[in-house]
Amino acid sequence: MRRIAVSFLIALASALQAKDAPRPNIVLIMADDMGFSDIGCYGGEIQTPNLDKLAANGLRYTQFYNTARCCPTRASLMTGLYAHQAGVGAMTIPTTTPGYAGHITRECVTIAEVLKVAGYATFMTGKWHLTANSYKGATGSKKNWPRQRGFDRFFGTIAGAGSFF
């Protein structure tokens, strides 16, 4: 399955890229607990001029459906798969049930891994929350941290919640 996903994503990336066209910069923003119309470009009442400018000069998506929890949504966004296919069917508490590994499995690839193959530099900041952990706050195996899943640089938190004070 991993080979098929990698092949598909590489083919898609190369098909979208004209030979002599300049490569676009890609900024992908995922915000927890934000409604569809919370920002200005989607009709929100709160002024968000910087996000509106990014939206006006880039692509806006209206058909990405999320789950009720942040981890499965992140898994789908990072891999292009249903959350269960990526191994994060619920939260990041590992189980032996297929689809509930609690982390992005090695059978799937992340968007960062595909972009690296295409020659992009990749950076992530914020909350990763895609590595198996426990309620005791452990951050799981480093083999599934952002730097090991395609990101050149990472500045943020591995676990889903934490105190910043």
pLDDT at 117: 93
Active site residues: 70, 129
> Above 70 in pLDDT, residue 19?
no
92 has pLDDT over 60: yes
More confident residue, 2 or 78: 78
Quote the tokens at residue 31. 């915000």
Mean pLDDT on 13-30 = 75
What's the rounded Cα separation, in Å, for the pair 112 and 116? 6
Q: Is the pTM of this model over 0.95?
A: no
pLDDT for 36 beyond 70: yes
d(CA 86, CA 110): 10
pLDDT at residue 69, as a whole number: 84
